[in-house]
Structure 1
Amino acid sequence: MRVVKLLAILLVLGAALLAGGHHYWQSRLAAPIAIDEPTLYEVPRGAGYHRVIGELAADGVIADEWAFRLLTRLEPESVPQLRVGEYMLEPGMSGRELIGLLGSDRVVTYPLTIPEGWTFRQLRQALAEAAKLDHETAGLSDAEVMALLGREGEHPEGWFFPDTYRYHKGLSDLEILRQAHRRMETILEEVWAERVDDLTIETPYEALIMASLIERETGAPEERREIAGVFKRRMERGMRLQTDPTVIYGMGERYEGRITYADLREATPYNTYVIDGMPPTPIAMPGRAALEAAVNPLPGETLYFVARGDGTHHFSRSLREHNNAVNRYIRNR
């Protein structure tokens, strides 16, 4: 009987010690991490759970490394598959919450904005300067980039929708391009389906070219459809479009802020003072409003427009009226 009582006492003590040990272990996992302000932490590519725990302990973020290592043995289902990326650690966060965060999709992201009217060259420069991106396209030609996107042989200009895209550290710049390209394809398809019947343009790609001209000509929302209308009527009458942004695009990197009469007469594939119709490709990345204007031009009689100098334009029906407007807004200025 005495042996039985002793065994019973030992079992009770063992259970109590086990319960107490388990409680203490859980309390260490639930303890707040040791940071006083939001702290950026990165899970590097190829890092496993034990390596990350070791780094956090070495940095003083967690105090009881053993408790987190024990987690893989006693509660393996609680140990998430860590995801590569940057995470923002917050003061007061428990160790368990920290581990959960590092296995979640709540990575720190950064914005990359593509403004309406940018060229593909400007987009590539912005991607190259985005420090957190993986620059997979560095050193590649435009043709090579398009081939990687599955668009071999296509000219890149105009095919990337201007918007703000978010990315996390380590994402490829090619993925940003892929997202922007898909969006432009989708939106162009939607806009083309809503086109009016009497257009002079015949394909979605021609609509993309026209929208790029509209985008580069004005930033005033109320003018886009009227400019589209001017271009439509000029094409219907066999008149050249004579839009300065095509001259600038044809000049390429030679453009330094102004165009001369010699530039207007220079024969480039894009100079609409020289060529008939539209240029062979878009000259910029148009937004949705410019695309919508391209397929729904404003009816009217105007055939000319000139910049007032305040971001808007004066529209004219006749060459005489246009020349007067040029004298008023350009030559006098």
Structure 2
Amino acid sequence: MLKKIIVLLVFFIVSIAGIFFYIGNQINVYLQQPLQIKVPEIITIKSGTNLNNTLILLTENNWISFNFISRLLPRFHPEFSDIKAGTFQLKPSMTLKKVLQHLVDGNEYQFSITFIEGTRFDDWRVTLFSSPYLKDTISNLDEIEIANILGIQRKKLEGLFLAETYYYTAGTSDIEILKRAHSQLNQFINSKWLDRSPNLILNTPYEALILASIIEKETALYSEKRRIASVFFNRLNKGMRLQTDPSVIYGIANKYNGNLSKEDLYILTPYNTYLIHGLPPTPIAMTGKSSIEAALNPEQTEYLYFVSNGEGEHIFSKNLLNHNRAVKQYLKN
């Protein structure tokens, strides 16, 4: 009798062990299944979502196959129970195990937003509004209201943010992005201001920013920026008007139809550098680092003029005679 009991007990223990082994093996197979996606997907896990609910969400999206064994996963793998709330990116190369570890680690997806050099604040507002998972707080505000929120004591926000790529997680507000862009601009220009070339006709970093924005609009070539900066400084030193078309275009705003006419050059605005002396009152565009560096460290040249060569570069001249020849050549081409 005792022998039978021992045999039954051993059989029971072996059976239980076998069942646990089978379940454990099936769970491992379940965890190693690759996601059924061909492109990266975004998933949002709400606060309070547990492991079972997460598996249901993945199944409902047809990203993993249903398996009755999934309900036992929390018992066999409690390390996957602490699912974090947030928005995450899932990649085709991921297995379910990697997905769950990713969600437990809380590595939220970093969205990116890129502000292009030479664009205007109005363009930035459109970019912010159209960026995914970014909280809109400024679409119904004017520039002065936005400036007040940012603590900026100016009526125009043009040029006051560094053109760069910024990263954010879902739920970040647009005003937070602008705060970072403004802070990074201040840090960069203030540090470069301390290392500026001597004897520049610039009184403040803001004036440097104004000039940098003009340089930004005149050329996209890094190799030309410091030379173009030298032209503007040479003209300022001689008391000449800057006569830069992008500033005129900025001043006439919606009146500009894509072609700058001679009549446009006689429209008096604070930005018409054919009629006013010195710099315009504000930047005319957002700038990148290279244009700021050029404005604070221009080349040492005697150039007073430049004109496009029709191939994306410019021809620089020291006098009006040579400049007019370059203009004729440009028009001829």
TM-score class, shorter-chain normalisation, is 0.7 to 0.9
Matched with 2:173 is 172
Matched with 2:87 is 85
Deviations 1:8-28 (A, max 9, x none): 667656654554454344334
Q: Could you tell me the TM-score, scaled by structure 1's length? A: 0.84
The CA deviation at 1:293 is 1.0
Are 2:40 and 1:63 equivalent residues in the alignment? no
CA distance in 2: counterparts of 1:208 and 1:168, whole angstroms: 30
Give the stretch that moved more between structures: 278-287 or 123-132: 123-132
The CA deviation at 1:227 is 1.4
Distance 1:20 1:235, change over 3 A: same
CA distance in 2: counterparts of 1:169 and 1:104, whole angstroms: 16
Matched with 2:24 is 26
CA distance in 2: counterparts of 1:253 and 1:140, whole angstroms: 21
Letter of the 1:178 partner, please give it. Answer: K
Are 2:118 and 1:142 equivalent residues in the alignment? no
Letter of the 2:25 partner, please give it. Answer: S
**Within 5 Å, which residues of 2 pair with 1:171-250?**
171-250=172-251
Letter of the 1:133 partner, please give it. Answer: L
Give the stretch that moved more between structures: 35-44 or 219-228: 35-44
Distance 1:17 1:101, change over 3 A: farther
**Within 5 Å, which residues of 2 pair with 1:94-109?**
95-109=96-110
The runs of 4+ residues in structure 1 deviating greater than 6 Å are 8-11
Distance 1:173 1:324, change over 3 A: same
Distance 1:148 1:12, change over 3 A: farther
CA distance in 1: counterparts of 2:93 and 2:325, whole angstroms: 68
Distance 1:56 1:326, change over 3 A: closer
In the alignment, is the contact (CA less than 8 A) between 1:230 and 1:304 conserved in 2? yes
The CA deviation at 1:248 is 0.6
Q: Could you tell me the TM-score, scaled by structure 2's length? A: 0.84
Give the RMSD, CA atoms, in angstroms.
3.0
Letter of the 2:66 partner, please give it. Answer: A
Matched with 2:37 is 37
- Which residue of 53, 56, 61 maps to 2:55? 53
Distance 1:53 1:278, change over 3 A: same
Ranges in structure 1 where 5+ consecutive residues have no aligned partner: none
CA distance in 2: counterparts of 1:315 and 1:91, whole angstroms: 54
Aligned length: 328
Letter of the 1:261 partner, please give it. Answer: K
Letter of the 2:84 partner, please give it. Answer: L
In the alignment, is the contact (CA less than 8 A) between 1:57 and 1:64 conserved in 2? no
Give secondary structure in 2 for the equivalent of 1:103. Answer: helix
Give the stretch that moved more between structures: 203-212 or 109-118: 109-118
**Within 5 Å, which residues of 2 pair with 1:121-136?**
121-136=122-137
CA distance in 1: counterparts of 2:19 and 2:26, whole angstroms: 11
